[in-house]
Amino acid sequence: MSEENKHRATAAAILPLVGGAANVTSVAHCMTRLRLGLRDRSLVQEEALTALPAVMGVVDDDTYQIVLGPGAVARVTPEFEALVAAERAAAPEGPAAPAAPAAPAGGSDPVTAEELAAQGAALRAERKARNATPFKLFLRRIANIFVPLIPALIGCGIIAGLNGLLVNLGRLPGLTPALAAIASGFMALIAVFVGYNTAKEFGGTPILGGAVASIIVYAKVADVEAFGQHLSPGQGGVLGALAAACLGVYVEKRCRRWVPESVDVLVTPTVTVLVPGLATLFGLMFLAGEVSSWIGDAADWLLAHGGAGAGLLLGGLFLPLVMLGLHQALIPIHTTLIEGAGFTVLLPILAMAGAGQVGAALAIYLRLPRNTSIRTTIKSALWPGFLGVGEPLIYGVSLPLGRPFVTACAGGAFGGAFVGLFNQLGTDVGSTAIGPSGWALFPLLDGNHGLAQTIAVYAAGLLVGYVAGFVATYWFGFTKTMLAELNVAPDAPAPASPAPVATEERVREKV
């Protein structure tokens, strides 16, 4: 089957399992996930969906997210959109397809991958309800501003890395200036894109948000004096653009409410650009510039003085932060560091959390030789885990088991401590973009001591994370009771127990 037909077949298999075109309200994708807005999530046949070969996992959040992996998701999404449009055109009044009745629960007592998937789905639903606080919803909206920028950050980051390699080798001197321009053009104007997305996210006119934010990167702002000093083009960066566009949205909404319709087309755009523009020049640029400088200094201080300890905490706590929805607060911090220093030193440390998950999965695979169901799940999810797509391992294996999730976090903590130690010793390991992790982060690495040393430290950190996650899970990830319950073939009778414990209670016990 050709690549095009394969992706079309994947889209065609997914559509009926999410309730058909009538149940789909929006379609989008990020680096690894197909993100769907659904009218009725009870129509989703999740068990059948996760059984599809191309689907690595699902995440039930503000949108219903189907993990397809990097590359594949960008090809499946347009095919899915075309199928949705075609189905709607053929039956515009047709109701959403009813969900197939759920299969009856199996009577076998041994825990299978299907049970773990169901437990993972329950944990995702619980996490979603817990994360629906005003503060976390606000963080999610902030993340929605920056996530669409990730593909450009990755592309420009890889080109910047290639250009740096050619410069260091003294090769193609006629081409390297052009590559530098291509790699730097987006970062020079990133404030404009942030302003555009901010206005779009908060209900304003996107182009007006971009217009207000573009003031920050205009060269002639150097002629403007604020707080006793001349401004610099780009001062305040993405944080200034975010604040300026938010103010623009507020002003625009006020204008729409009070300005007569007869002059709205003239007055509202003018006031929306003028008032926030003046506030940006005479306040926001300076204040956001101070905050951006503080963030860069704080990151440098943290790793210079905290080193291994800071890396231990960041690597070990990152996945719990993801579960709580607080990791989205890091996205503007990463972007600010990239804008200021050219790379973020935090992402390679946080990426160690995924290495701990991989090591834990390998240990689970060896500790449960008889449970072919869980081992099959691990085999299908392991390679995506190496590439930084951790959801299938987290929600399909370690989190439902409980203790292995904790020991996997311990593996990430050791990997983070290793990379943090080298930062403390003066070897910065950074990433020129956000989004990828695991092996997929190698093309985006940058630092202050040459690419070879940066890659070596990051690779060694991954190895430490793998080994620590493996050892911690192999020796401490299972109790004797857990092994007795789990290390059984799916079709074998369960060992006799005087007081059987319900599946949900077993999971709580394991944690």
Beta strands, E only, 387-483: 429-431, 445-447
> What does the pLDDT read at residue 498?
45
Active site residues: 30
Q: How far apart are CA 129 and CA 328, in angstroms?
A: 17
Question: Which residues are CB-contacts of 444 (< 8 A; sequence separation ≥ 6)?
Answer: 154, 157, 158, 161, 431, 432, 433, 436
Other C-beta atoms within 10 Å of 257: how many? 7
| Residue 53: predicted pLDDT | 84
Which CB contacts under 8 angstroms, 24+ apart, belong to 298-302? Answer: 299/333, 299/337, 299/344, 299/345, 299/346, 300/345
Contact call for residues 334 and 348 (beta carbons, < 8 A): no
Decide: 178 and 154 in contact? Cβ < 8 Å: no
- In whole angstroms, what is the distance from residue 411 CA to residue 302 CA? 21
How does pLDDT run across 55-97, given as a tens digit for each residue? 877 877 778 889 887 778 888 999 999 999 988 888 655 444 4
pTM, to two decimals: 0.72
Q: Are 15 and 21 in contact (CB under 8 A)?
A: yes
> CA of 494: how far to CAs of 367, 402, 483, 499, in Å?
17, 20, 12, 13
Position 223, amino acid: D
Q: Is the dihedral of CA 149, 153, 154, 159 positive or negative?
A: positive
CA distances from 383 to 74, 121, 380 (A): 19, 22, 7
Encode the chain (511 residues) as per-residue pLDDT tens digits.
Answer: 666 788 899 999 999 999 999 999 999 887 778 989 899 888 999 888 988 888 877 877 778 889 887 778 888 999 999 999 988 888 655 444 444 444 444 444 556 666 666 666 666 666 665 556 777 778 788 888 988 888 888 888 888 888 888 887 888 889 999 999 998 899 889 999 999 999 999 999 999 999 999 999 999 999 999 888 899 999 988 999 999 999 999 999 999 999 998 899 999 999 999 999 999 999 999 999 999 889 888 888 888 888 899 999 999 999 888 776 677 778 888 888 988 888 999 999 999 999 999 999 999 999 999 988 889 888 888 888 898 878 778 877 888 888 999 999 999 999 999 999 999 999 999 998 887 789 989 988 988 888 889 999 999 999 999 999 999 999 999 999 989 888 887 665 555 544 444 444 444 444 3
Instruction: Report pLDDT for 55.
Output: 84
Coil, strand or helix at 510: helix
Phi and psi, residue 218, nearest 5°: -70, 130
- Listed in sequence order, the residues at least 6 apart from 191 whose beta carbon sits closer than 8 Å to its beta carbon are 213, 214, 216, 217, 234, 236, 237, 238, 240, 241
- Write down the pLDDT at residue 506: 41
pLDDT, position 429: 93
Question: How far, in Å, CA of 146 to CA of 266, rounded?
Answer: 31
The answer to whether 245 and 198 have CB atoms below 8 angstroms apart is yes
User: CA 96 to CA 20: how far, in whole Å?
Assistant: 6
Residue showing tokens 């929306």: 272
38 membership: H or E segment, kind and range = strand 33-38
Q: Is 439 exposed, middle or buried (0-12, 13-18, 19+ CB in 10 A)?
A: middle
CA angle 437, 440, 443 (to 5 degrees): 110
